[in-house]
A and B are shown apart, each in its own frame.
Chain A
């Protein structure tokens, strides 16, 4: 079977779906059918690419020239397929959940919401399959623009300010990416992502390489939420919860860490990173971010804010794994993309269900809610245990691999960071669970679970997290993929 058009179709399907979504704006059920249909088709298309990816094969497709010698090209390589599976798979759950959420919360401008969502997913899959830096820039910027209407969805003063902040950070990052890509092209004559990097045979002064790396770090670090350029992320929590769930736990921020892997493994290359000492810079930044973000998370009473800072911390787990420049580290980082995605989306889904159902946002108001929302809180408990790294939930396994990677590189401090961060995770998640289960609640009479459209996706993602913990290879060979990708970079 000829798969060469599959990457393109996978990118386009949700973009095309925007048209019927807009046209059926006054028939909500029909409109949401298009979303679900696009999500399912997209996931199916991505799955077609998985068998090849496990064997280490790529599907390449050159479309047109974006600039002379710089094509708009897609390349569904193992790393891209890995990310695409996660993003498109979780979009299906988010779509169902979104329907429950926006109807339950009576959100306005639902058509704009679903249309923007579809564009975001196209951009995310485009990012996953970009074969070169210029194509990557194209989808990276489309993702920025398409996310903006979702961030400002409420159109409140707070949301508009969050939108401004979001644009200020992401547009600056986009410009740095443009500058960095142009520099790579002038220095090396190519902008293609190449396993092992494009700098082999190119001698650059140490400062030039350092500056180039810092430019790229700024470019991808914004979406990856590394400190001190993370602050758009907590602000963007003004968005409706499904947006936070998919975009700020899966699509946008994962595009950021995905970009970190692309930059480290496919632009600079692990050898260059090591010989210029660039990995150490990244380790320090990622380690500091993990600890600081976990500490800040403690101080947040708003549930979504606490989850946001938790996201900032966990994204840096992935960055840390990549920065270790060891096969286990890379593998652990890649695995944590999937682990954090399923866990954090579960937690955000729970936060959204609580908000829609009880209109409560703050942790101090969550006393006793497990009695009325038992399923939701069970899922929340699974999610938070996973993030704290308690076996057998899938967060444990990636963290274990990260620790191996760090010891592999004769580094102890990253292991300490991981352990301390695990304790901090327990520290900021446990009080929530304690309140929900053991403190007496008030004003909960007459409330039950949220609508099944929300609870079912919550349960499914929670169960997925547990299953992945027991059987990392159960679905789509994600574990093998992570191992193969990591080995191909060294």
Chain B
């Protein structure tokens, strides 16, 4: 009966490999990355299998050791958690598969701790998504965060400082969340999400509930880099090593977004969330500001990783905005964007890593059309991902925008609609700038002539994961109706 144990298997796989990697890695350092690939591959396989099981059999509630709540710990594998687990584990698998050469170059000899920490962080992320208990969620959040701080600190000279800054802000966020959970526990006497969902409507309008909601949204908002709590993100993503950024950027903020979905749409419900203060609208407006701010800051950057980091601030805004719309189209658009953005950003950060590996930098102003000759496939993958980010059909990025637009119009929310449209244009500005350089910019005089540029494509272990992600953007685009059909069924109202 593998089905009924699947939720546990997914998380435990990462736990197992976070122990196996140090054990084998101390003996043979070069075994660390293959082990991590196996671990994340297994977890991704379980997640895919699990999601199809969910589609056939419905949600799974898994009680550890057979102990039911409130005594025992529970994992809930429903549509929402199944979908997020599927997305983050699949993308993580490709990123880890891709990271071999980059890890060797950027932090030689530290592969063992890096991959062990990566497994721990993935354990934390999966636990946050799967757990059915608000306090356990905090525990997993701290596991993921502590591992994350360490992973970010492996990088440039400034990386430890960026990681320290993230640690301070992130810990404050985690603490606020815990405080909110404390409030709810005092009122309801339970920490189990399903139990609490049933009890909360009795306390609608109570000050403690409102306080708890604010604390939790702010606390998780920090982790999700929701404007104006995004300050830690650009530095962390820029200075961390390329493989760390590629791992954290596509999935870290998504997991925090998952918690916001769980809290607002499931635990409280939109009615209760907006009972006293229109919170959904407020976070929607914050998301809008974040979208525009992130896009404008991205245009101002000359360093590709930093540009992508600001772009992440902007893109997480789309997801939160879809949540704030609280209608089926917005919900579907937001979740589809979780998938799309994870794939796009993973591909883009992986490509920036490839460029850093080959060229030693990823400074956009130094890009010229020799790159096209040197890395034709890398640049083709970049073009696909960039066009998807801009949101042109039939690539995946267009469709999340389409559903979000439907959602905003359904709510007659013209402000949000305008923000989506303007932000797409801003995306076009900062991505076409790179494409222009790569495909048309003649190299400066003094440098070697363009005709001298020889093909110098990265090795297959990097090219394949990047290419698969790029191709999957086209596949997701054409198959999105199927995905959205499933997502619309998950919508709780």
Report which A residues bind B (CB closer than 8 A).
64-68, 70, 134, 137-138, 141-142, 144-145, 152, 155, 160, 163-164, 167-168, 171-172, 174-176, 178-179, 182-183, 185-186
- The docked-state distance in angstroms from the alpha carbon of A65 to that of B390 is 22
On whether the beta carbons of B403 and A67 are closer than 8 Å, the reply is yes
Of the candidates B406, B432, B478, B484, the one whose C-beta lies within 8 Å of that of A64 is: B478
Please indicate which of the listed interface residues B387, B401, B403, B440 has the most CB atoms of chain A within 10 Å of its own CB: B440
On whether the beta carbons of B428 and A167 are closer than 8 Å, the reply is yes
- Which single residue of chain B is at the shortest CB-CB distance from A149? B439
A-B contact sample (19 more), CB < 8 A, given A66-B394, A178-B401: A66-B399, A66-B480, A67-B402, A67-B484, A68-B484, A68-B485, A68-B488, A70-B481, A138-B394, A164-B432, A171-B425, A174-B392, A175-B424, A178-B402, A178-B421, A179-B421, A185-B406, A186-B409, A186-B410
On whether the beta carbons of A141 and B484 are closer than 8 Å, the reply is no
> Hey, which chain A residues are within 8 Å of B485, CB to CB?
68
Please indicate which of the listed interface residues A160, A163, A178 has the most CB atoms of chain B within 10 Å of its own CB: A178
- Please give the number of chain B residues whose Cβ is less than 8 angstroms from any Cβ of chain A in the complex: 29
On whether the beta carbons of A67 and B399 are closer than 8 Å, the reply is yes
> Hey, which chain A residues are within 8 Å of B478, CB to CB?
64, 66
Query: Do A179 and B387 contact each other (CB < 8 Å), given the known contacts A142-B393, A171-B425?
Result: no
> Hey, which chain B residues are within 8 Å of A68, CB to CB?
481, 484-485, 488
Q: What 1/0 flags go to B400-414 for Cβ under 8 Å of A?
A: 011101100110000
Min Cβ gap A401→B in Å is 36
> Hey, which chain A residues are within 8 Å of B393, CB to CB?
66, 137-138, 141-142
- The docked-state distance in angstroms from the alpha carbon of A179 to that of B401 is 10
Provide the main secondary structure of the chain A interface: helix
- Check: B417 CB closer than 8 A to any chain A CB: yes
> Hey, which chain A residues are within 8 Å of B417, CB to CB?
179
- Which single residue of chain B is at the shortest CB-CB distance from A172? B425
- Check: B436 CB closer than 8 A to any chain A CB: yes
> Hey, which chain A residues are within 8 Å of B401, CB to CB?
178
Of the candidates A141, A168, A176, the one whose C-beta lies within 8 Å of that of B392 is: A141
- The docked-state distance in angstroms from the alpha carbon of A370 to that of B403 is 58
- The docked-state distance in angstroms from the alpha carbon of A64 to that of B394 is 12
Count CB-based A-B contacts (< 8 Å).
Answer: 70
A-facing residues in B372-428 (Cβ within 8 Å):
387, 390, 392-394, 398-399, 401-403, 405-406, 409-410, 417, 421, 424-425, 428
On whether the beta carbons of B440 and A155 are closer than 8 Å, the reply is yes
On whether the beta carbons of B406 and A182 are closer than 8 Å, the reply is yes
- Which single residue of chain A is at the shortest CB-CB distance from B423? A175
> Hey, which chain B residues are within 8 Å of A152, CB to CB?
440
- The docked-state distance in angstroms from the alpha carbon of A65 to that of B417 is 24
> Hey, which chain B residues are within 8 Å of A138, CB to CB?
393-394
- Which single residue of chain A is at the shortest CB-CB distance from B429? A168
Min Cβ gap B429→A in Å is 9
On whether the beta carbons of B410 and A67 are closer than 8 Å, the reply is no
> Hey, which chain A residues are within 8 Å of B387, CB to CB?
145
On whether the beta carbons of A176 and B421 are closer than 8 Å, the reply is yes
- The docked-state distance in angstroms from the alpha carbon of A64 to that of B436 is 34
Provide the main secondary structure of the chain B interface: helix
- Which single residue of chain A is at the shortest CB-CB distance from B442? A155
> Hey, which chain B residues are within 8 Å of A64, CB to CB?
478, 481
> Hey, which chain A residues are within 8 Å of B440, CB to CB?
152, 155, 160
On whether the beta carbons of B425 and A67 are closer than 8 Å, the reply is no
A-facing residues in B444-484 (Cβ within 8 Å):
478, 480-482, 484
Q: Can you report 24 A-B residue pairs in the complex whose CB atoms are below 8 A from each other?
A: A64-B481, A65-B482, A66-B393, A66-B478, A67-B399, A67-B481, A68-B481, A68-B484, A68-B488, A70-B481, A137-B393, A141-B392, A152-B440, A160-B440, A167-B432, A171-B425, A175-B421, A175-B424, A175-B425, A178-B401, A178-B405, A179-B417, A182-B402, A186-B406
- Which single residue of chain A is at the shortest CB-CB distance from B332? A68
> Hey, which chain B residues are within 8 Å of A70, CB to CB?
481
- Which single residue of chain B is at the shortest CB-CB distance from A145? B392
- Which single residue of chain A is at the shortest CB-CB distance from B433? A164
> Hey, which chain B residues are within 8 Å of A163, CB to CB?
436
On whether the beta carbons of B405 and A182 are closer than 8 Å, the reply is yes
- The docked-state distance in angstroms from the alpha carbon of A67 to that of B481 is 4
> Hey, which chain A residues are within 8 Å of B410, CB to CB?
186
- The docked-state distance in angstroms from the alpha carbon of A186 to that of B328 is 13
> Hey, which chain A residues are within 8 Å of B392, CB to CB?
141-142, 144-145, 174
On whether the beta carbons of A179 and B484 are closer than 8 Å, the reply is no
Query: Do A65 and B481 contact each other (CB < 8 Å), given the known contacts A138-B394, A175-B425, A182-B409?
Result: yes
- The docked-state distance in angstroms from the alpha carbon of A66 to that of B402 is 11
> Hey, which chain A residues are within 8 Å of B424, CB to CB?
171, 175
> Hey, which chain B residues are within 8 Å of A167, CB to CB?
428, 432
A-facing residues in B87-131 (Cβ within 8 Å):
none
- The docked-state distance in angstroms from the alpha carbon of A437 to that of B481 is 62
- The docked-state distance in angstroms from the alpha carbon of A204 to that of B406 is 18
Min Cβ gap A86→B in Å is 25
- The docked-state distance in angstroms from the alpha carbon of A456 to that of B10 is 69
Min Cβ gap B442→A in Å is 8
- The docked-state distance in angstroms from the alpha carbon of A182 to that of B186 is 45
- The docked-state distance in angstroms from the alpha carbon of A432 to that of B481 is 55
Min Cβ gap B439→A in Å is 8
> Hey, which chain A residues are within 8 Å of B406, CB to CB?
182, 185-186
> Hey, which chain A residues are within 8 Å of B481, CB to CB?
64-68, 70
- Which single residue of chain A is at the shortest CB-CB distance from B421? A175
